[in-house]
Amino acid sequence: MKFYYILKEVLSSLKQLKQSSATIGQSLKESLELQSSLQKERSTYNELAKFGSRLFFTIRELARMNPCYQFSVSAFMQIFLKNLDSKNVITNLFRPFCSTDTLTQILLVD
């Protein structure tokens, strides 16, 4: 009789473990889907961050070449935002700055 109660408790415990395992499996699946979704969103902004970084360091190097090319933060933001609105940003976003002509074209977009 005692064996029967122990067996009943073990079976009950196994059922609870099975339910917990299913819940954990579902949560893990949802977590992986969320992680994948966040990775896609993050990669969308990576190119924009690279563009902003290249623009910042290029403008900084201009100031080293000649002091008359010093830009304030607000001037940098104006250039950055102006380029976001222009069509040139899209074409230049995926290739690094390779010449002064390219930089001039990007900075002087109408």
For the chain, the first-to-last Cα distance in angstroms comes to 90
| Residue 76 CB partners (closer than 8 Å, separation 6+) | 55, 56, 59
Q: Give the CA count within 13 Å in the CB-facing half-sphere of 82.
A: 13
- pLDDT tens per residue across span 52-82: 888 888 888 888 887 777 777 777 777 777 7
Nearest to 50 by CA among 81, 108, 99, 92: 92
pTM strictly above 0.75: no
Q: Which residue has the tokens 């390219």?
A: 102
